[in-house]
Amino acid sequence: MSIRLFFVAVFLTTILTGCVGNGSMPAKQLSEAERLQSACLDAFNAAEQAVLTAGVMDTEAARIPGYPHLRINRFLSSFRNEVNEDSYLFWLKQLQELADQGRRVEIRNLPESSGQKLEKTIQAALSSQARTIDALNDCSNKLLQAQIENLSSRNDLKKVATVADNYRTWERIVGIYPLTAWAFKIAIAQWHEKTLNRYKQPLSQLKVMGQLIRYEPLPGSELSNSVQIAQILKKSSNNPLKIPLPDGKDQLHLFNSFAPLFEIDVAGNDDRIGYPELQKGAAPRINTDRPTVFQHLSHTRLGNRVMLQLNYTIWFPSRPKNSVFDLLGGHLDGITWRVTLLPNGKPWLFDTIHNCGCYHLFFPTQYTGAINQQISFAESYFVPQHQALIIKQNMRPIVRIAAKTHYIERVYFDQSRSDQVIRYHWDTTDSLRSLSMNNGSYRSLFGEDGIVAGTERNERYLFWPMGILEPGAMRQSGHHATAFVGRRHFDEAYLFEKLIDGRSIDVAD
């Protein structure tokens, strides 16, 4: 079945036929509504075909079959069976915004000739002279309104508003997962033990291969007290689902307030952070003359609260191989540092991954409480630092990063100044979804599978039985599987409830 027929069969059946059944629209109006919605489906179909042909599909948020104007992520999917009369419209609009964001990226990334052809096709379908993105946004609103008016379509949407996990079951079956997983558990436990021994060393005794350089935010990134942060969180949560959604100004304020210092052992250019750049016909490169930290918001659910998360992502030119047999080295490397905030404005927990989804580490604060590190057979929640971090007012966390491997070796607070300081700039991770190339066109850093091309690791030849696509490769938000044994994702809505083993959670203001 073609994409157009699929959209028409599913969407028109659930929306338009529903209207016929309840008799809420006169025949003449129904015919006009059907014509407009069918034309919009033709427009969305044309856009989808153009995106597929050009290979510029953005998959940060998942498409929802039969609903081309909506997309979904794991966090919003977690509400699908909870939304009611008061919250359904708000939830729909969040799904619409995800689709709008992805569509803007895809249309911008189309080759010029494809974009021009698409615009003519959409104008003909809609009998309009509107630009492509404006026409599709208008169609999105029309389809959303029809969906709102048809109450019977709600359950249909809830059934399909899901996100597939990032594990391939067939590979686990072929790889005899019940047996091979034990070997991985042993290897992971050995790495954990080695890492724990490193964390037991005094900070001053950690090996330095080059020179320690601190990457700090530009002057003007002042720290705020928890009362100010709490006010922003409370104000931005004034919506039916109580999701903190700070605006641009408040977002910047939050990111500035919790910005970490990255203390990196720089033994070569591969240990310097920079800005990803694309060139036609070449692998992505990192411009270390543009030290940048990329920011984006996310959310997690804890008890009856939704908590805001601040994500800070850095990129290195590579993890250099130490030999031809090195399974882990390869082109590009990176780290994402995440801060989960309590409603009272204080950091509840820090956690971090490499941008492959690997090496997920948790750093509790004095507000976190006890952590359950082992979940049955699955890979444990790894807390490498023995003592909880004591949050100190007017001090930023320092994230110590090793040379070459870029392992995080320590997180600590310290007022001392460093002689070697480089100031980093801000950008958003959305910028990486549409980067300017040297020929004037635009392209995403990430492929349609969420993988950064050219960052494959040799570990894929041995690690495939765990069912993760291209293990070790750099990837896009929404594609970070974080456990080889078990199934776990960096963006799971209830990740931290599992972490604390379902205990009663006190996140009172």
Q: Which among 160, 181, 199 is the end of a domain? A: 160
Q: Exposed/middle/buried for 310, CB within 10 Å: 0-12, 13-18, 19+?
A: buried
In order along its 509 residues, the chain shows pLDDT tens digits of 444 444 444 444 444 444 433 444 444 444 566 788 899 999 999 999 999 999 999 999 999 999 999 999 999 999 999 999 899 999 999 999 999 999 999 999 999 999 999 999 999 999 999 999 999 999 999 999 989 888 778 889 999 999 999 999 999 999 999 999 999 999 999 999 999 999 999 999 999 999 999 999 998 767 778 899 999 999 999 999 999 999 989 999 999 999 999 999 999 999 999 999 998 878 899 999 999 999 999 999 998 899 999 999 999 999 999 998 899 999 999 999 999 999 999 999 999 999 999 999 999 999 987 777 666 788 889 999 988 999 887 889 999 999 999 999 999 998 888 889 999 999 999 999 999 998 889 999 999 999 999 999 999 999 999 999 999 999 999 999 999 999 999 999 999 987 775 444 555 44
Q: Which residues pair with 364 in a beta bridge?
A: 349
For residue 455, being part of any structural domain is answered with yes
The tokens of 255 are what? 């990111």
In a domain, 302, yes or no: yes
Based on the fold, state whether residues 144 and 253 are members of the same structural domain.
no
Buried b (16+ CB within 10 A) or exposed e, 481-504: bbbbbbbbbbbbbebbbebbeeee
Domain end residue (candidates: 160, 176, 192): 160
Q: Residue 481 carries which DSSP code?
A: B
Given a contact cutoff of 8 angstroms between Cβ atoms, the answer to whether 166 and 469 are in contact is yes
Asked if 16 and 103 sit in the same domain, the reply is yes
Predicted confidence at residue 199, as pLDDT, reads 96
Assigned token pair, 11: 């969407």
Dmax (CA) for the chain in angstroms is: 80
Are residues 118 and 230 located together in one domain of the fold?
Answer: no
| pLDDT score of 23 | 42
What sign for the dihedral angle of Cα 79, 80, 85, 87?
Answer: positive
Distance CA 315, CA 294 (A): 9
Q: Kindly state the tokens that stand for 186.
A: 């042993």
Closest CA to 166 of 377, 495, 469, 477: 469
CA gap 302, 411 in Å, rounded: 24
Q: Are residues 314 and 214 in the same domain?
A: yes
Residue 78, both tokens: 């977690």
Among 223, 49, 274, 72, CA closest to 157: 72
**Distance between CA 77 and CA 71 in Å, rounded?**
10
Q: How many domains does the chain have?
A: 2
Q: Which residue has the tokens 């699929």?
A: 6
Give residue 137's pLDDT.
96
Let me know if residue 411 belongs to a domain.
yes
Instruction: Give yes or no: residues 83 and 221 share one domain.
Output: no
Q: What are phi and psi of 195, to 5 degrees?
A: -70, -40
Q: What torsion do the CA atoms of 42, 45, 51, 52 make, to the nearest 10 degrees?
A: -140
Angle between helices 88-109 and 27-54 (to 10 degrees): 40
Instruction: Answer yes or no: do 219 and 96 share one domain.
Output: no
- Looking at residue 32, what is its pLDDT? 66
Question: Could you tell me which of 388, 396, 362, 403 has the C-alpha nearest to residue 499?
Answer: 362
Do residues 345 and 419 share a domain?
A: yes
Asked if the structure places residue 256 within a domain, the reply is yes
- Look up the pTM and report it: 0.92
Cβ–Cβ under 8 Å, residues 241 and 306: yes
Confidence at residue 446, expressed as pLDDT on a 0 to 100 scale: 98
The range of the structural domain enclosing residue 69 comes to 3-160
pLDDT at 374: 65
Can you tell me the distance from the alpha carbon of 499 to that of 382, in angstroms, rounded to the nearest whole number? 10
Residue linked to tokens 């033709």: 42
Q: Rounded CA gap, 271 and 319, in Å? A: 8
What integer pLDDT is reported at residue 70 of this predicted model?
Answer: 98
> Which of 145, 160, 175 delimits the end of a domain?
160
Please report whether residue 373 resides in a domain: yes
In a domain, 86, yes or no: yes
| Inside any domain, residue 358 | yes
CA-closest candidate to residue 344, choices 223, 244, 413, 250:
244
Nearest to 431 by CA among 294, 285, 302: 294
Q: What is the pLDDT of residue 13?
A: 42
Q: What is the pairing mode between strands 292-302 and 421-428?
A: parallel
Question: Is 99:70 a contact under the CB 8 Å cutoff?
Answer: yes
Any domain includes 490: yes
Residues 214, 91, single domain; the answer is: no
Q: Are residues 155 and 223 in the same domain?
A: no
Is residue 241 located within the same domain as residue 97?
A: no
In angstroms, rounded to a whole number, what is the distance separating the alpha carbons of residues 251 and 396?
Answer: 18
The answer to whether the beta carbons of residues 507 and 384 sit under 8 Å apart is no
Structure tokens at 68: 């081309």
Structural contact between residues 357 and 482, judged by C-beta atoms closer than 8 angstroms: yes
Residue 282: exposure state from Cβ atoms within 10 A (0-12, 13-18, ≥19) = exposed
Q: Which residues pair with 265 in a beta bridge?
A: 212
| 32 shares a domain with 126 | yes
Identify whether residues 372 and 446 lie together within a single domain. yes
DSSP string, 111-172: -HHHHHHHHHHHHHHHT----HHHHHHHHHHHHHHHHHH-GGGHHHHHHH-----SB-HHHH
Convert 134-145 to b/e letters by CB count within 10 Å (16 or more is b). ebbbebbebbbe
